[in-house]
Chains A and B, each alone.
Chain A
């Protein structure tokens, strides 16, 4: 292995050599991540379960409108955005940050810097999300999709994001391995894009609002870019790391990867307005064109993975591989549905229906959630130095997730198409058109329930891992060098 060029070692992940020195170096890097990353992961999963619970309530309300309708705090129009904000800002952001920081360390062969700063940022991020979600439930929502958290929360969100993100960039800057791997491009891009789109949208919607339908243009653009320029690149960074690694192959083509990266960067931000919206028509047309162009990065990425894995057999009975594989397939499926929905003729049916909710759920749970979970299954034992306490829970997590996501997405996508077709047929009274989707909405509730159970299993497993880690490390050997990882990394500055 030592004779291979660094690019291969790099593309295959953390394998820098079999020598004892190299191994202890990797160990050192992993241990430097322990405290901040485990905090981020634990918080992220608590939000995943909390958000899943809220989302389940809102899903039940769609077919049982009388359910919990007595309190204003639990009305559908508050619970649904609260769930989405908990899932995106609570779960997705913290999970992504943990995995991104670890990838930055491993790929750059550098210890994590600013562990305490990251902890502080993560703490305030959680405070902000909590305030935001409670604010939405209390009725203080801004009314802009994906930016519902009240205006007083957003500066805190921004500052705490920067507190975490800046250390990712510092770690990146002081990397030992100068050659960049594909994953690092995506991470740098995503880490930079979020503050841009977030501040632009907040300034133009909350602090200095633009007039009328321009608000819908801005929030549509934000919601679109949040997926294409933040969630997708982070997920792709993880997949580009694990796919070659798990197949034991070198990434097929760096040039193809570069093509995919730049086309995503170039076209990812052009979208967010559906056809027929009350805005100048060219905006919808540009959105449609931008949505269609997403086929380019999709083909480049999928082809690259296919050629990398061709003929090779993935590892058997490997928890990480299962999750990552599902994430990659879900990415492909979600992108295709998204691109399909951007065609005018399909959008006429699917726009303004639960089809779009289903596609977003597939991105969030199927692609992003599963990919991040796969990464966590790999990295958590490494950074804690303990094995997963329960294989059973891990299997339950996988099985529940797969079935849950399939049922949830199938219900919403099929129900959405039926909803669109029926609403577009004026012969059918509106109420009847909606009533006919109820079985599908019930299906999505069932999927949500399974998914919640699966995620609960994941959370329990992580908590048990943390307990195990504490017992073996903190109490047994209080002064071990591994235990002081983050502090040592901070001292390096």
Chain B
């Protein structure tokens, strides 16, 4: 091993193998993935996000929400993602087809958000949570994002979007806190995060397990069907 070119060539070949194995092969397998048709309703899944939610994804990316929150439900029996109600089924590649960038996250300082839109689908809740997390989750360790909001003098009627804040958080008299465009987009994005449909590669079990005691953040599993139906309707509209 006294020849530079030999070292170079050897490393090149080794790199080429791992590159082929870890990059090219997955690309060949799922790189050409298309929308799936979910039976029996015949819904195309996933659907591209509406504009506001898509802008919310940019806010999510720019502020690095993904450094504390994952968006991936691990398979049943691996971790406790199901028991915590973070999803009805595990996340699969299909769910992320239109994500750009795909922000799966690497760290769970906060709960998984793959289906946060199914748990909290009220923009007001998200506004209050983002403005001051402790106003919705008492012991939250999430930072506040006051820069997504604006405090302004109430002119005429109070804005319908103004945050319902009480106690210490309430703005001074005559003032209101309203979400900026970023907060509106981010809330729309968070609400759009849901994968309630059963897929071929990740079916939702017909009978949800009864033995697992639901804890906080649990999706109302019994309302699954109605949720599915609701989403199906909104998708086909």
Chain A positions near chain B (C-beta within 8 angstroms): 61-63, 65-67, 69-72, 75-78, 80-81, 139-145, 172-173, 178-180, 184-185, 188-189, 192-193, 196-197, 200, 204-205, 209-218, 221, 225, 229, 254, 258, 262, 265-266, 268-272, 275-280, 283, 286-287, 290, 348, 352-354, 356-357, 419, 423-432, 434-435, 438
Contact = CB atoms under 8 A, between A and B. Distances in A.
A214 B30 contact: yes
7 contacts: A61-B143, A71-B147, A141-B61, A180-B2, A205-B101, A265-B14, A426-B215
A221 B2 contact: no
Contacts of B66: 77, 143
B97 interface: yes
B26 A269 contact: no
Given A77-B64, A141-B62, A356-B107, A269 B22 contact: yes
In the A-B complex, the 4 residue pairs with the closest CB atoms: A77-B64, A269-B18, A426-B83, A139-B62
Given A76-B68, A435-B139, A258 B1 contact: yes
Given A65-B144, A185-B7, A192-B11, A178 B2 contact: yes
B15 A272 contact: no
Contacts of B108: 352-353, 419, 423
A476 B153 CA distance: 68
Given A276-B75, A278-B90, A426-B212, A229 B23 contact: no
A22 B102 CA distance: 57
A280 B1 contact: no
Query: Which interface class (under 10, 10 to 19, 20 to 34, 35 or more) fits B?
Result: 35 or more
Q: Is the interface of B mostly helix, strand, loop or mixed?
A: loop
B17 interface: yes
A352 B106 contact: yes
Contacts of B4: 172-173, 180, 188
A431 B215 CA distance: 12
B141 interface: yes
B21 interface: yes
Given A76-B67, A144-B101, A178-B2, 8 more contacts: A63-B141, A75-B143, A77-B63, A142-B61, A205-B101, A213-B102, A278-B96, A356-B106
Nearest to A278: B91
Interface in B44-94: 61-68, 70, 72-75, 78-80, 83-84, 90-93
B217 interface: yes
Interface string B130-150: 000100010111111111000
A89 to B, nearest CB: 17
B216 interface: yes
B175 interface: no
Nearest to A426: B83
A209 B97 CA distance: 12
Contact of B63 (A75, A178, A188): A75
Interface in B18-32: 18-19, 21-23, 26-27, 29-31
A75 B93 contact: no
A271 B141 CA distance: 32
Contacts of A269: 14-15, 17-19, 21-22
Nearest to B96: A212
Contact of B102 (A80, A216, A280, A290): A216
